[in-house]
Structure 1
Amino acid sequence: MTSASRAGRPKASSREPLAEAACELFLGRGYASTSVADITQRAGVSRSSFFNYFSSKSDVLWSGLDDRIGRAVDDLVAVPEDRDGREVRRILSALVEDFAPDSLALAMNNSSALGLDAELE
């Protein structure tokens, strides 16, 4: 079934609208007081759409970092012998390059206000 034939609101085109909605709610209500239902309602998508992108509410915070680390690990495993470390340095540099502010950065900078101190520990 294509998205054009679906009834109702279209599914979020990416993780970003869901992560943005979650962060707004975490800031306004706190992490513990925000449910997945709250996030999906704010983003205007179904619960199943949320779970297409995230495995849990906490995954909103960690998934971007997890994805970057996963790609780096895959790249490191595939590196042939690298005596001078040039390729390893390139992979590790790519891990942190263009690391734009995201939900994890927001959470770390506002952990107390969001009620996330225990979650981040």
Structure 2
Amino acid sequence: MPSARPAGRPRRSSRATLEEAAAELFLENTYAATTVEQIAQRAGVSRATFFNYFASKADLLWAGLDDTLRACGEALASVDPGGPAVDGVVDALIGAARSRGEG
């Protein structure tokens, strides 16, 4: 029996879609002017789905910050103490940004 789902690239998770929709709306309208309803609508999910992933709009804003900071800390811990500090910090920040963008 054929699958009802079309072949091709898998759908992004609702969480990632919500994060992306929120980022777009925050840039377009500001954080304060953006509502949970607008975020859910842009993401193509219900308000209830939003609250399955995030307790509030503020939680969505700060989503992933702990993971990003942890990744920066791990990258900084592996920096060569005898090497240029600026290069180590830059590499850590770039690595954290890349890992954040993969979600």
Encode CA deviations 1:71-105: one digit per residue, 9 max, x unaligned. x6xxxxxxxxxxxxxxxxxxx415967312659xx
**1:59 has 2:56 as partner:** no
CA RMSD of aligned residues (A): 3.1
Trace 1:38-117 onto structure 2 (pairs within 5 A).
38-66=38-66, 68=67, 92-93=73-74, 98-100=95-97
Task: Note the residue ranges of structure 1 that are not aligned, 5 or more in a row.
Answer: 5-11, 73-91, 104-121
Cα offset, 1:61, TM superposition = 1.8
Question: What is the letter of the counterpart of residue 36 of structure 2?
Answer: V
| Greater RCO structure (CA 8 Å; 6+ sep) | 1
The aligned residue for residue 88 of structure 2 is none
Calculate percent identity across the aligned residue pairs: 56
Whole-angstrom distance in 2 between the partners of 1:34 and 1:13: 21
Encode CA deviations 1:54-83: one digit per residue, 9 max, x unaligned. 1111111212013x28xx6xxxxxxxxxxx
Cα offset, 1:14, TM superposition = 3.8
Cα offset, 1:17, TM superposition = 0.7
Query: Normalized against structure 2, the TM-score is what?
Result: 0.56
Whole-angstrom distance in 1 between the partners of 2:41 and 2:32: 17
The alignment of Structure 1 onto Structure 2 pairs a total of residues equal to: 73
Query: Normalized against structure 1, the TM-score is what?
Result: 0.48
